[in-house]
Structure 1
Amino acid sequence: MPPAVNAKSVTRNVGWSVLSKTGTFGLKFVTVPILARILSPEEFGAVAVALALVQFLAMIGGAGFASGLVIQREEEMATIHSVFWTNLAISAAMALAIFLTADELAALCGAPEAGYLLRIMSLLIPLQLAGDVAYALLARRMQFSRDALWSMISESAGALIAVGLALLGAGVWALIAQLFSSAAIRLVGLYVVSGYRPRPVFHPRSVVSLGRFSLGMMGSEIANFITFQSPMVVISRYLGLADAGAYSAANRFSSIPNQVVLSAVMGVLFPAFSSMMHDRERRSQALLLSTQVTTVLLAPMMFGLWALAEPAMRVLFGQQWAHAWPVLALLSLSKGILTPCSTYIPYLKGIGRGGMLFWWAVFRAAATTGAVAYAAMAGTLVDAMIALCVVNAIVLVGYTGVVYRADRAPLRGLLVTSRPMLTSIAMALIVRYLLDVHGHLMPNPAAQLIVGIAIGGAIYSVMTLVFERQLLLKLGELVRKRGSNPAVSAAE
């Protein structure tokens, strides 16, 4: 049986996960600008289009079978081996299909130049899916520290290889080498720490039984994946690889804050809300507090990046990407708008509203793809990003309505959770105004960036002390309680 889970074990594993994500995306914070300075937008775009298709098919190829192993009461080795061979067979078939039709698929995505890259990157599918079973075993044993260690090792090695090859003039092959080296090192690490070794055992009934559960989980995940990746394909098809490269670089950079903070937190909130399913008052308080905290942390980062996108693009990515600063600004704005949804989604899962999540995920995927495609066909990349912001604003309103109806929460809670976002927007508008009006007094973009961060940080700190005093006092009280009585804290 999976080990017992309590607050102490969850906190420890979240800590490891956050450490891993911080290290991984900290590397991206450094390597993405370095690679962007060395490589061209067309090279970035070609790899991004091919990778989007490969990742989508890899997710479908796994079909969620490995995730079904996590909830099994016992580690039945026959079932584990059966899932491994199923994943391997499906991934090999998909890789072969992509290899044979790479040119046609690349042209369909609007990037015919990426055909040879897609043919090579098709081998990533079996390389990624071969480790799913080993990771599932670590997850059910709550051994995230081991996965975190190998994730940091693999990403560090891949980043060093990519930068080294790029400096040597390898061009687009630097990005390819990064993907394959990271995947291969992590695969080896997963087998080392999990102790799993495949055996020639296959029970079709075990796979079918897991499939009923796994396929039910995949619907909303596929819709979410389409939401995140469809803009890349649409932009490449209608605006070209240069714009796709600009979008890819800006999107990868603007996603770092969200991915560092939320990737671990969202995984913890789901079981936490599940344990409160029948206690409406307690779960409402937890929803209010978690939404406030995540918004206080993330909103100023995203809206602040919107305000400082122009000097940030010049300093981090170089002059050849300077024209793309509006793309970085609008992507940061679109992600900032959705900040509260980071708690709404696990909340709806936890209280058993999976059907609502599925249909909202489908709506969001269709709306995002349609709006970005229409704007790209009728206008420019900036128009497509504006359309994305509009869709995300509608999605936020929809999720908020669903959550507050499901919880029958008073509107006061909506005001409390929205206040940090409004404060962040006010801060960003002030910083942007000062940059537009007085930026000429400090023409150096690095100086503009440093001064802008300092001014924005000071303004937001003062606003937070004024408007979020009760939240700060509550968090301070929680910290004092945990520090004074760790035994009680672990039992909570």
Structure 2
Amino acid sequence: MARVPRVTTATGLGDQAARGAGVTLGAQLLRAGLQVVALVVLARLLEPRDFGLVAMVTAVIGVAEVLRDFGLSSAAIAARDVTRAERDNLFWVNTGLGLACGVLATAATPLVVALYDEPRLATVVPVLAAVFLVSGANTQYRADLSRRLRFRALAVADIASQVLAMGVAIGLALAGAGLWAVVGQQVTAATVLLLVNVVSARWLPGRYRRDVPLRRFFRFGGALLGTQSISYLTKNVDNVALGAVWGASVLGVYSRAYQLLMMPLNQVNAPLTRVALPVLSRVRDDGPTYRRYLSRAQLVGCYVTATGFAVGAGLAEPLVALLFGPRWSAVAPVFAVLALGGIFRAVSQLAYWMYLSQDLTGAQLKQFLVTRPLMVLVIVAGTPWGAVGVAAGHSIAYALYWVASLWHVGKVSGVDTGPLLRNATRVLLTVSAPCGVLALAATWLPVPAAVQVVVGLLAAAAWLGLLVAVVPAVRADAVTVRSFALRAAGRRRAA
């Protein structure tokens, strides 16, 4: 049976991974920039209530997005090989799941309206439910492009969808469409993403074949579905709690802060997962190489993503003032607290990659069944204190989860994660935290917000430069991160 072409493991696999990460992260930076523009413009054209109403819907029916994937995208990416017939069958399964999820979400419209006591949601839910069918059809196209390490094609799709979705959203907002500008943005992004990926992949699915089993994909994806569903609950219980208790306006403020957090996090974690998962899966039997790749990935996450969130937390007030304007000042303290949790969400991604690349989704599910309910309790406990209280619960929960997940994945995989935990802690305490404190100190200066941001960034950069100059361990880390960056740009090959 014909097999889908794949890139074989070779000595240059590390360079392929680095270049793939470079292309992907470069595109994601551009995409993030476009999202910032859309976020800023829409925040000045719409009211907090408009964002809050859409957040109410997505927090409840968004779980269908997890169900329509069923873990099959990651199963296809992590598989050692996928036949063409298996790929076709997977396409039809994901498309069927997307259709079923759309129908179920539409049928649940009265329940969503009753939960929040918001009659306006009756027209919003069916429109957003249609996105599940489009995303279901797109699932295996993205998986196939990831398997073949075609990161440029994925980047083109991401950017094109973002540009067009932003244009539609801003146009609708200027026309006075209110919350429909946000709805239109989501529908447009999903549709364009599918169309561009179909063109890039250059294949159309054949008929479904009953004689081609998919058991191995469902075995992998079924366990992953459980973890993703529980993860979704953890990530969205804050929106549901705030919406039900405090209403659309408070949720609108929280959702802007949360989106400001997730925008950089998604632009880094999702594309890095597309690069890391196929690469780590191929070297998982080579212990030294596997550990080396994990260590490098962690350094990039600590020095870039985690430190960025620490600085963002310190500069929350002037950043929000510059981006959203004075009427959104309530977003600043919420974002500052959420960004602290973002530090731990960034570094905990490593454990997620280890579970998937080692084919330990079942073990991950068992871990989730213990840790995630506790996280939900911690997050919900902050509800009486409004958006800031929920944000605090969120950050505390993810800090505890980072330690627990890294310990557990090391235990079940046999990989010694002690050095990873110690190195990450060292970087967070000596680099990320001081950079965040220096950024915060810059906000105490009696100067305009833009100047505070510049001074804060320069102070953080100066501290990092000082550490590189005087601390050998940090200097060695900087060499590793710089080497990764050069390889990402295709300017140096692995040793």
TM-score category of the 2 structures, normalised to the smaller one = 0.7 to 0.9
Out of 393, 396, 400, the residue aligned to residue 394 of structure 1 is 400
Out of 88, 91, 98, the residue aligned to residue 105 of structure 2 is 98
Q: Deviations over 1:225-253 (max 9, x none)?
A: 22222222222122211121112111111
Whether the aligned pair in 2 keeps the contact of 1:110 and 1:236 (CA below 8 Å) is no
Look up the SS of the partner of 2:329 in the other structure. helix
Whether the aligned pair in 2 keeps the contact of 1:110 and 1:233 (CA below 8 Å) is no
Out of 21, 27, 30, the residue aligned to residue 28 of structure 2 is 21
1:452 aligns to 2:460 (yes or no): no
CA 1:136/1:348 → structure 2, altered by over 3 Å: closer, same or farther?
closer
1:76 aligns to 2:106 (yes or no): no
Distance (Å, rounded) in 1 between the aligned partners of 2:265 and 2:489: 28
What is the 5 A alignment of 1:187-206? Answer: 187-199=194-206, 201-203=208-210, 206=213
Deviation at 1:212, TM superposition (A): 3.7
Out of 407, 428, 433, the residue aligned to residue 425 of structure 1 is 433
Distance (Å, rounded) in 2 between the aligned partners of 1:306 and 1:104: 37
What is the one-letter code of the residue matched to 2:28?
K
What is the one-letter code of the residue matched to 2:240?
V
Partner of 1:308: 315
Output the TM-score relative to the length of structure 2: 0.86
Deviation at 1:352, TM superposition (A): 5.0
Whether the aligned pair in 1 keeps the contact of 2:441 and 2:456 (CA below 8 Å) is no
Whether the aligned pair in 1 keeps the contact of 2:53 and 2:121 (CA below 8 Å) is yes
Out of 3, 6, 12, the residue aligned to residue 6 of structure 2 is 3
Look up the SS of the partner of 1:339 in the other structure. helix
CA 1:200/1:383 → structure 2, altered by over 3 Å: closer, same or farther?
same
CA 1:479/1:117 → structure 2, altered by over 3 Å: closer, same or farther?
closer
Unaligned runs of 5+ in 2: none
Output the TM-score relative to the length of structure 1: 0.87
CA 1:458/1:64 → structure 2, altered by over 3 Å: closer, same or farther?
same
Deviation at 1:275, TM superposition (A): 4.7
Whether the aligned pair in 1 keeps the contact of 2:31 and 2:162 (CA below 8 Å) is yes
Deviation at 1:134, TM superposition (A): 2.9
Distance (Å, rounded) in 2 between the aligned partners of 1:485 and 1:123: 44
Greater mean deviation of Cα atoms: 31-40 or 256-265: 256-265
Distance (Å, rounded) in 2 between the aligned partners of 1:12 and 1:411: 29
What is the 5 A alignment of 1:128-139? Answer: 128-139=135-146
Partner of 1:180: 187
CA 1:281/1:31 → structure 2, altered by over 3 Å: closer, same or farther?
same
1:50 aligns to 2:57 (yes or no): yes
What is the one-letter code of the residue matched to 1:432?
L
Distance (Å, rounded) in 1 between the aligned partners of 2:23 and 2:488: 19
CA 1:110/1:20 → structure 2, altered by over 3 Å: closer, same or farther?
farther
What is the one-letter code of the residue matched to 1:4?
V
CA 1:395/1:100 → structure 2, altered by over 3 Å: closer, same or farther?
closer
How many residues of Structure 1 are paired with residues of Structure 2 in the alignment? 483
Q: Which runs of 4+ in 1 moved over 6 A?
A: 477-485
Distance (Å, rounded) in 1 between the aligned partners of 2:59 and 2:67: 13
Deviation at 1:347, TM superposition (A): 2.8
1:63 aligns to 2:70 (yes or no): yes
Deviation at 1:355, TM superposition (A): 4.0
What is the one-letter code of the residue matched to 2:470?
V
CA 1:65/1:410 → structure 2, altered by over 3 Å: closer, same or farther?
closer
Whether the aligned pair in 2 keeps the contact of 1:299 and 1:420 (CA below 8 Å) is no
Distance (Å, rounded) in 1 between the aligned partners of 2:422 and 2:248: 42
What percent identity do the matched residue pairs reach?
A: 20
Distance (Å, rounded) in 1 between the aligned partners of 2:127 and 2:432: 44
CA 1:453/1:61 → structure 2, altered by over 3 Å: closer, same or farther?
same
CA 1:404/1:124 → structure 2, altered by over 3 Å: closer, same or farther?
closer
Deviation at 1:295, TM superposition (A): 0.4
What is the one-letter code of the residue matched to 1:393?
A
Partner of 2:350: 343
Partner of 1:141: 148
Whether the aligned pair in 1 keeps the contact of 2:345 and 2:398 (CA below 8 Å) is yes
